[in-house]
Amino acid sequence: MTDEQLNVSDQRLEQGEKRLNLIGRHAGILMQAYQTGELDALSVNEGILRNLLNARIIYQPEHGQGYRLRAPIAQLIANLVVDERRRSIQADVADKLDSIRNQVDVFRKAHQRSDMYLAELKLHIIEERVYDLVSEFDEAIHSLWNRLNTDFGFAASLDEKMAENQRAQNQIERLLDGLSMVDYEECIALADGHVKLRQLLVVQLQRRTSLQRASMLEIQHRMIELMSRFREQQSRSLLVNNMAQFLRQHPELKVSDYTERSEVPELFNLARGIRAGAHADVRIESTQQQTLDVLHEALHKTRHLRTEQTSSSESAKAMAQFSDAVLETEQRQLKQDVDEFFIDAAQSQYPHSALDYLVNNELRWQPEIWLFQVLSEYQTLTKSVQVELPLQRRERAVSKTNEVHIIEDLIVQPPKRVA
Amino acid sequence: MMTFGPIIETLLAGEFICSQRFPEYHRQLQDETLQNQINDYLRPLNRTVSQAADGSVFFLSYQTLDKSGREHLRQQFIQTLATLMPLLEWLTLTQEALGHDSTLVPGDTIKLPEWVVACEDNPSLKQRLANLARDRFFNSQAETVDAQIKQIAKRLVEHGYFIQPHTDRPYFIVTGKVDYLMDVIRFIRDEENLPVEETPEQEALL
């Protein structure tokens, strides 16, 4: 039993080895097939074709048609080529670094021989090579930032954006691999003792590439973040579209009432709103001027005071100049007293006169100021409260020749109660 | 001096605090110490700060539930369910009409004229818009695309899904409340075991 198994696996090993060899022997024509999509049957003899067919490397979709690579082989090559490309960036960097090393070597020798002409020439070449190397990375970084900043705007769909993002991330990895080949210690050693070389290899090459590396890591970080945002968007869209579709198909869906549970889920525990009554607060220094402006604007709207426009704006100035501390306590007390007046009026069963209230409660306010405040506080009440608490003005015409009226008193009607 | 008075007032009024509508409050609420302070203050009012969608929105919940609180939540839940379909339809419709990659997210800008043009040019979208506008939630009797869209936007502002930065300019910004909506959808899906997927792999299998 075991022997048999061993034999079988030995056979497999042998067969695999043969077939891999077959791929190697015909690498040229297989690569040509990979590139053009079809094997050039004329360039190989029948025996080879048969071997390749038997080895499941190529196949003929239909009689009379050309031979193609089987999918796994094509994929294998694709993978290998990507690797090759990856290596090629590194090889490119390695090549440029090698060239720099050689040029430095020749430069030093020329320098020693005092062959200034050659030394100068080599220095120019080194400069060029360093520039090439650095600018290649610069370009790649620029292009990556650009893609990042436009959110891959050039891609038509979210899927495409995600694929582009993945490609960019692969590119970053290859670039980072390439950058890691620049050996800083070697740069310093190469530049040893020569100002211009130091300028090129340490200042230019080393510093620039270390900045580029930092920049690339930042891009990588942002790419990953962007990718997770794309994923989130994707899942959100699917959720919304699928849920909408499901509900359309199941309009009769009964959802259990989560609010009946002993522990209502936080998501559905939305407390009823409480509206806090608010009044303009003259104590707040920063908004004092605003409060006064609003107050006067409100007063302008009342017909009776329209003619006193000038004096009221003068009084605004006077009030603004008023000592802050005094204003603060006075206004606060006045407002509180007016509030109490309204509460009193709302709780009573009879109409309340503002002036009577002032006298009865022995409040120290001047009648005009008192009426003024009652009126302005009334304006700050909500419409619904105003309806509940109608305010009447007891007015007196100043003269027969104009429309000026003076408010003598304000009467607040208590709310009508249902017996 | 209480520096978080305005936050409390906003929360108490039943508002959702997100970074689009109340950026400053939203930032402040990230601080757990402040949240605790606010909760201490709210305890006598039987309220506590809750959050949804990984802190994208904050709102107030009842701390303990009495009969009237529960009744309030029940009513609200019924309303939430009734608004679910029109809101989903709104999201899918705008995504299609505006040719967006994905459904609306907080911070997205919606320009009404663009939306109007897209719906007017496409009979199928126009029909869907008309149906949506007639839904009880949006409650529009308007005949024109323009008026229907205006009414939808107005209702979305009232319900906190949109803000309009300038009242005289016809563009709106989507608020964090759509994140809350996503949480609600996911919750219902999970609780009711609805076959509603949100990952592409699983969708491919369906």
Does residue A312 lie in a domain region? Answer: yes
Same domain, A107 and A242: yes
Q: What is the structure's pLDDT at B128?
A: 92
Enclosing domain of residue A51: 10-69
Q: Which of A69, A98, A120 lies at the terminal end of a domain, its last residue?
A: A69
Q: Verify that A214 and A311 share a domain, yes or no.
A: no
| Angstrom distance (rounded) from CA A140 to CA A170 | 12
Count interface pairs A-B at CB distance under 8 A: 138
A130 located within any domain? yes
Q: Does A31 have pLDDT greater than 90? A: no
A162 lies in the same domain as A34: no
Q: Say which range, A51-60, A235-244, A384-393, has the weakest mean pLDDT.
A: A384-393
Q: Are B53 and B182 in contact (CB under 8 A)?
A: yes
| Stated pTM of the model | 0.57
Distance between CA atoms of residues A376 and A366, nearest Å: 15
The whole-angstrom distance between residue A303's C-alpha and the CA centroid of its chain comes to: 53
Q: Tell me if A162 is assigned to some domain.
A: yes
Strand partners, B62: B47
Q: Which of residues 9-68 of B touch A (CB under 8 A)?
A: 9, 12-15, 45-47, 50, 52, 59-62, 65
pLDDT at B111: 92
Q: How far apart are CA A184 and CA A96, in angstroms?
A: 15
Same domain, A158 and A294: no
- Mean pLDDT (whole number) for A245-251: 90
Q: Is A209 found in the same domain as A89?
A: yes
The answer to whether residue A111 is domain-embedded is: yes
Cα–Cα distance between B111 and B100 in angstroms, integer?
A: 13
Give A414 to chain B, closest Cα distance, Å: 28
Q: Give the nearest chain B residue to A263 (CA atoms).
A: B65
- Let me know whether A59 and A139 are in one domain: no
Half-sphere exposure of B128 (CA within 13 A, CB side): 22
Angle at which helices B145-158 and B123-134 cross, to 10°: 50
DSSP category for residue A207: I
Q: Do B180 and A256 count as a contact with CB atoms less than 8 A apart?
A: no
Q: Using CA atoms, how far apart are residues A97 and A120, in angstroms rounded to an integer? A: 19
CA-to-CA separations, B106 to A233, A355, A419, B149, in angstroms, rounded: 11, 55, 52, 19
- What pLDDT was estimated at residue B181? 94
Q: Which residues of chain B have pLDDT under 50?
A: 1, 202-206
Radius of gyration of chain B (CA): 19
Query: Under a CB-based contact definition with an 8 Å cutoff, are residues B161 and B176 in contact?
Result: no
Is residue A329 located within the same domain as residue A405?
yes
* Euclidean distance between CA atoms A193 and A190, whole angstroms: 9
Shared domain check, A55 and A108: no
- The token pair at A333 is 């007390």
Quick: pLDDT tens for A70-89. 877 877 877 677 545 444 56
Within a domain: A276: no
Q: What DSSP letter does each residue of A277-329 carry, written as one string?
A: P----TT-HHHHHHHHHHHHHHHHHSGGGGGGHHHHHHHHHHHHHS-HHHHHH
Same domain for A289 and A395? yes
Domain identity same for A54 and A183: no
Return all residues near B160 (Cβ < 8 A) that are at least 6 apart: B15, B16, B21, B175, B177
User: Is A237 found in the same domain as A88?
Assistant: yes
User: Which one of A224, A247, A270 terminates a domain?
Assistant: A247
Residue A252 at interface with chain B, using a CB cutoff of 8 Å: no
pLDDT in tens, A179-237: 888 888 888 888 888 888 888 888 888 888 889 999 999 999 999 998 998 888 888 99
Most B CBs within 10 A among A152, A158, A165, A239, hence the mutation to make, goes to A239
Dihedral (CA of A151, A157, A159, A160) sign: negative
Answer for the pair B38, B7: CB distance below 8 angstroms, yes or no.
yes
Same domain, A306 and A186: no
The answer to whether the CB atoms of B73 and A269 lie below 8 A apart is: yes
Residues 90-129 of chain B with CB under 8 A from chain A are: 91-92, 95, 101-103, 105
Residues of B in contact with A258 (CB under 8 A): 77, 187, 191
As given in the structure block, the two tokens for residue A268 are 């559905």
What is residue B61's predicted lDDT score, i.e. its pLDDT? 92
Query: Which of A157, A238, A267 faces B197 most closely, judged by CB atoms?
Result: A238
So what's the ipTM on this one?
0.88
Give the pLDDT score at A123. Answer: 87
Angstrom distance (rounded) from CA A307 to CA B110? 47
Query: Which of A239, A256, A264 minimises the CB distance to B73?
Result: A264
- Give per-residue pLDDT as tens, A252-284: 888 888 888 888 898 899 888 887 666 666 666
Query: How many structural domains comprise chain A?
Result: 3
Q: What structural domains and CATH numbers belong to chain B?
A: 5-62 (no CATH), 80-195 (1.10.10)
Asked if residue A189 lies in contact with residue A197, where contact means CB atoms within 8 angstroms, the answer is no
Dist. CA A204–CA A128, nearest whole Å: 12
- Domain assignment of residue A315, yes or no: yes
Does A78 reside within a domain? Answer: no
Task: Please check whether residue A215 lies inside any domain of the structure.
Answer: yes
How far apart (Å, rounded) are the C-alpha atoms in residues B14 and B59?
A: 7
**Alpha helices by DSSP H, A348-403:** 354-360, 367-380, 383-388
**Would the CB atoms of B103 and A267 count as touching at under 8 Å?**
no
Nearest Cα residue to A398 out of A304, A327, A330, A316: A304
Among A199, A219, A247, the domain-final residue is A247
Q: Which two tokens stand for residue A191?
A: 């530049």
Give residue for tokens 């249902």.
A418
